[in-house]
Chain A
Amino acid sequence: MGIFKALGSGIKRVNKNKKMWFFLLVVNILVALVLTFPLYSVLKTSIGDSLMGERLIKGFDYRWYDDFQYRFQDSDFISYLSPTIVGSGAFFSNVDSLWMGRFLHYSPTIVILITVYVLLNVLFAGGILGVFHSPEEKFTIKRFFSFGGTYFNRFFRLFIISGIFYYILYFLVGANLSKIVNRLGETAFSERVPMVVGLIFAVVMFFLLFLVNMIFDYAKIRTVVGNGRSMLKETGKAIGFVFKDFGKTMGLYYFIGLLGIVFMVIYGVVEPLISQTTLLLILLAFVWQQIYMLGRIWVRLTFFSSQLNLFMGLQAEKKVPETAASATPSLAQG
């Protein structure tokens, strides 16, 4: 099966399940609201009935921000409010966090929230793949959670195993790559050398992160398709699968990832055009934000759906030659 065929039918399947997108978006919003409400409250206290509010509607005021930072510098997640996380800034900030493992250094509240969300999505991954692999391929809340529950134990074990891989990547590979860059800096003639090498290492880190991510996607797919029970075995077989058809698995993965970047660019171009100086425009900006988040969720679902297609397609292709081979002796006998 070619990657575009897998992608095409994968997208069709995802598009059939719009309710799933919205469900996942609602969960994302609800979890984010857990901290957004307290932040709202803090902002309200900070701005109060000051005329700074008017300035913050029109744009931004450094003097308010300075006071805000001073008052809440030790206040956990509040200090992450900054002009540099606005719009596409969020993308850059979070991708930096992913690359460097910085999210581990966020405030305890955010780390806890991320952990809860990740665990929820371990559950949801089972629901997603279960729905996609079912004959009806149709999302209902009941079926979604039923599948989620069915696979949670196994997917949680995969999560732990993948955690070991990510730990090695961040704390051994990444840490040593950083040390190499620092040492290069000590002896380099100019800053270009460590910067370029740092960029190469960033590319290597991303490649490795994506590779591990893909392996465990296929480990989950294998578990669902083959009703696997041993997660170490499924991990091993997933590694084998990925490398056996490396071009197709990587090609599909990166192509879908590219779609995600396209969505980000579109979002980043439009978002600054919405001035957010009136309630209507703020609502419009919020809606645009959520449309982008829907797009992100769509991309995640497309990963699962397309990779599932690719896996099943390639497995089917493997079985056809076996069938032909087993037919040959009878022909020979004939």
Chain B
Amino acid sequence: MFRRAITGLIAFLLVSVGAFSCLLAQEPLSKRIANYTMDVRLDPETKVINGKEILTWLNDSDVEITELYFHLYLNAFKNNMSTLITEARRTRPGRITRMKKEDLSYIDVESIKIIGEEGVEPVNITPAMEYVQPDDGNPYDQTVMKVTLPQPLPPQQTIKLDISFASKIPGGGARRTGYRKGYFYVAQWFPKIGVFFEGNWNCHQYHASSEFFADYGVYDVNLTVPSNYIVGATGVSRNKSDNEDGTTTYNYYQEDVHDFVWTASPHFLVYEDKFTHEYLPEVKVILLLQPYHKMFKDRYIEATKNALRYYGEWYGAYPYPQVTCVDPAYRSGSGGMEYPTMFTGGATWLTPIEFRSPEGVTVHEAGHGWWYGIIGNNEFEDAWMDEGFNSYSDDRVLEKAYGPRYYSRRFLDIFPIVFKRFSYRPNWGTIGRYRPFAELDNMARVAWEFMNGTSYGINSYNKGALMLWTLENYLGPELSDKVFKTYFQRWKFRHPRPQDFFDVVQEVTGKDMSWFFDQTVFGSNELDYAIESISSKPLTEKEGWFEENGERVYISGKEEGKTEEEKEVIYQTEVIVRRLGEVVFPVEVLMTFENGEKVKKVWDGKYRWVRYTFRKPTRLESAEVDPDYKIFLDVNYTNNSKTMNPRKLPTYKWASRWMFWLQHLLEMCTFFS
């Protein structure tokens, strides 16, 4: 009996290992160019992480590589002369103010060695390290490191590096990474190799307005933290072991991601749930919640599941076994940020669901799992390709899952007030911030070269989303969905450039859409069509000598035998549509007549104006450009229509409402009399 039990146990173990091996042996989802094995320890007192990474890097090009480039992002907060801080003073005044000494950060690469074959001494290439500034030549910026190799690395060969480093985490809510009252959010924290892309190293400095770009690979990370800390990280926790010195080491593992982030806090509340769907794979949802945000638990999880559902249905299944949503600590500066398989939300006490917080940020950041996580675009150079795509997508999710947005405010800066009678579609909120910046920059600019942080945000997020909404409406929802799905499936785990997306659009639609993208992505002009004028007057009756049937006859202008009332009045209607902006886009024009008849015309929008004339026994009632509101990029929708019978009512209504506010304000101020 004992022998049978042992045999059964062995069989069970073999099957389990086999199953696990099968999982591991699954076809890689990505090329796995940059693979990291790390062993790091956090000292919560000094806020320093000491560690070592073994980086296995594949030269996936067809040229020899003589030098390697690394990102050392945390050096951006080393002093006030770094490129990020210098730019922040200019482009984002008020943010990232002077940092205290204890809040500064750095990454020190203590040594870097090439690991050769077994038994061969590693080659120390530490002396070959130097800081470079490929973007702006700022000698004080140390966010990019170059290492010259003693021997070139041939194409399709790998190199294994042993890198020892120490990273000091920034404080004071610096930028995405930080700590506060025992909470640590650790991002961009290790020496990260750049991307050798299109024949060159693509390894930009860390700018005030830029995000990140890295290659896919496997991350196998041991994190040692005090035992009372709860940890969350990219990937799956495989095991944890308690150490004798009061610390615990957690192992996290994830394949086919391009970054690794982690968080630790003794205060987290941990919740787990499962996303299930009729055909999408099951995903474990982990929520790390601040204890003072318990009331948001269901809302965070629901929002994460909504993202998994709709992004999965529209674009493609979430390919990882779990996702972690982190509720960031108050004033930690780590909220609203995305990383592979983990993201941060952001919530504030006393926020009803109508405020769409934390729902909005949660859906957006979870959605970045697709646009940025799985589609690994270069955020430095093509920021709109993840932010614009994701803003467009999260608008769709929010509308589908939560309905319209409402105007709201806080009374005494505390109590939420929702104005439920004033609602708008989530994507309309995107319009509001766009117009003042519509002509300032174009979307295709590299992230740090926008005029300022606001222009970067508007062009990457808002205009990107508006452009994609306009594209969807132009193509129609079915064809548009097919475009996005094809693009996602074709380019997942790769690094697409804008042309790659444009090519997919052309392929799927069979249309050359370069005229659209040239203007909207690479141009900075406004799109604005307007009804210039409308008129509808009784036709001028013929009077005078006319040739009829070969004879000259005099027509007096009065029909014989008919009274004025019995004559059928024919109206000459004229509608002039104008192109006010420089962007050319085909538009629909709808003419509505008093007898209920509707006539829709399509204008190619190329010339500066077009005139439509009609002769009908009915007057025109109204004319409208883009009546179905398809062109989200149109900066002014008020001028899109005209009516023959404008009413004064709306003016009375809104003027009297404003007057009441003013009357109330005046009466309130008698307080001081």
Contact = CB atoms under 8 A, between A and B. Distances in A.
Contacts of B292: 189-192
A115 B640 CA distance: 41
A245 interface: no
B621 to A, nearest CB: 10
A199 to B, nearest CB: 6
Nearest to B531: A50
Nearest to A114: B669
A96 B411 contact: yes
Contacts of B659: 32-33, 36, 39
Nearest to A194: B330
B651 A97 contact: no
A33 to B, nearest CB: 7
A278 B649 contact: yes
A110 B428 CA distance: 30
A40 B651 contact: yes
Interface in A5-34: 28-29, 31-33
B163 to A, nearest CB: 36
Contact of B668 (A46, A54, A94, A289): A94
A81 B666 contact: no
Interface string A290-319: 000100110010000000000000000000
Interface size class of A (residues with CB under 8 A): 35 or more
Given A81-B658, A296-B667, A49 B642 contact: yes
Given A28-B663, A293-B667, A191 B409 contact: no
B528 to A, nearest CB: 10
Nearest to A300: B670
Interface in A219-276: 272, 276
A282 B647 CA distance: 13
Interface in B400-422: 407-409, 411-414, 417, 419, 421-422
A201 to B, nearest CB: 10
Contacts of B664: 90-91, 94, 293, 296
Interface of chain A: mostly helix, strand, loop or mixed = helix
Contacts, number: 238
B650 A189 contact: no
Chain A CB count within 10 A is highest, among B637, B643, B662, for: B662
A86 B651 contact: no
Nearest to B627: A51
A132 B476 CA distance: 72
B197 interface: no
Contacts of B647: 53-54, 57
Nearest to B534: A49
B98 to A, nearest CB: 15
Nearest to A156: B673
A146 interface: no
A293 B670 CA distance: 13
Contacts of B661: 80, 85-86, 89-90, 93-94
Nearest to B425: A62
Contacts of B412: 95-96, 99, 198-199, 202
Contacts of B643: 49-51, 53-54
Interface string B324-335: 000000110000
A66 B435 contact: yes
A78 B413 CA distance: 24
B558 interface: no
Contacts of A87: 657
Nearest to B182: A189
A162 to B, nearest CB: 7
Chain A CB count within 10 A is highest, among B290, B641, B665, for: B665
Chain A CB count within 10 A is highest, among B425, B640, B654, for: B654
Contact of B429 (A62, A81, A213): A62
Contact of B414 (A28, A185, A195, A282): A195
B431 interface: yes
A248 to B, nearest CB: 21
B673 A191 contact: no
B670 A118 contact: yes
B419 A188 contact: no
A3 to B, nearest CB: 21
Interface in B163-191: 181
B12 interface: no
B649 A89 contact: no
A56 interface: yes
A4 to B, nearest CB: 24
Closest 8 CB pairs of A and B: A49-B646, A56-B650, A62-B424, A51-B641, A121-B673, A190-B292, A83-B422, A63-B637
A69 interface: yes
Nearest to B670: A121
A171 interface: no
A20 to B, nearest CB: 14
B656 interface: yes
A166 B673 CA distance: 11
Chain A CB count within 10 A is highest, among B350, B419, B431, B436, for: B419
B143 interface: no
A285 interface: yes
5 contacts: A39-B658, A166-B672, A199-B412, A278-B649, A285-B653
Nearest to B640: A50
A84 B658 contact: no
A200 B177 CA distance: 33
Contacts of A121: 670, 673
B655 interface: yes
A163 interface: yes
Contacts of A81: 654, 658
